[in-house]
Amino acid sequence: MKHLLTFLFFLGIAAPASAQDQFYKVVKEYFRVNPFTGRFSDFVNAVKTDPQLTVTEDTDKTDTSLFNIQGDYKTFNPFAIRARRVEMLLGEKELVIRRRDRILDTFVFYQITGFFDSTAQTVKAVQREYKRICKKIKRDLPNGEEILLNTIKGIREGALTNLTSSGSASPPISIGWYVKEDGELALLVALRMNYVNNRAVPRGGYFSIRQYINWSALPVD
């Protein structure tokens, strides 16, 4: 799983697209805790203290490390298919944008992954669900780029669709599915975001009037 996440971090590049509020609707539907409705610190605390989440890893941010939270939901499953397990990942990641000068770009990665019984019927159901989620977002982000994952070692079949805001090369959201050689079958939705003034901002500059209204209703920290 870790090598797939690394792939997501560094190949999360897609063609520009126009965007409306469909992005936020998908975030609300598939993530139990919405990062865009209040203060970022309150969001992180809500994830960590969620009674539905069994935390398996919790690393605080220090001078030498970035924060990272990982866990499994007890019953929460936003996908249309019955899952064996639903995993949540939330953490800061560093991307080297200028290797010579060692310039790093830090962003927050928030992912939910459903793991399913690997049968021929379930694989087809996962593929349909993947296409359904992509179609929903593509109503407002029509130029998403799909990358096939079968070139990654250990993955038999799969795909990842990155979707960006207009004029941006950094996608705020990706939808993916894969089946590994050992039979592990998964479907995922991944967000990339930054936080400014204790508010979460979708990576790539995507920003809606609705979010501006939500921000303006909160006092500045």
The domain limits of the chain are 2-216
pLDDT at residue 18 in the model:
38
Q: Kindly report the CA angle at 193 between 187 and 194, in degrees rounded to 5? A: 160
pLDDT at residue 81 in the model:
94
Which mean pLDDT values do the consecutive 10-residue runs of the chain (221 residues) have? Answer: 47 40 87 94 95 93 78 96 96 67 72 96 96 84 82 94 72 92 95 89 60 46 52
pLDDT at residue 217 in the model:
47
- How far is CA 32 from each of CA 66, 79, 107, 160, rounded to the nearest angstrom? 23, 12, 20, 22
Buried-state track 167-179, b at ≥16 Cβ within 10 A, e below 16 = ebebbbbbbbbbb
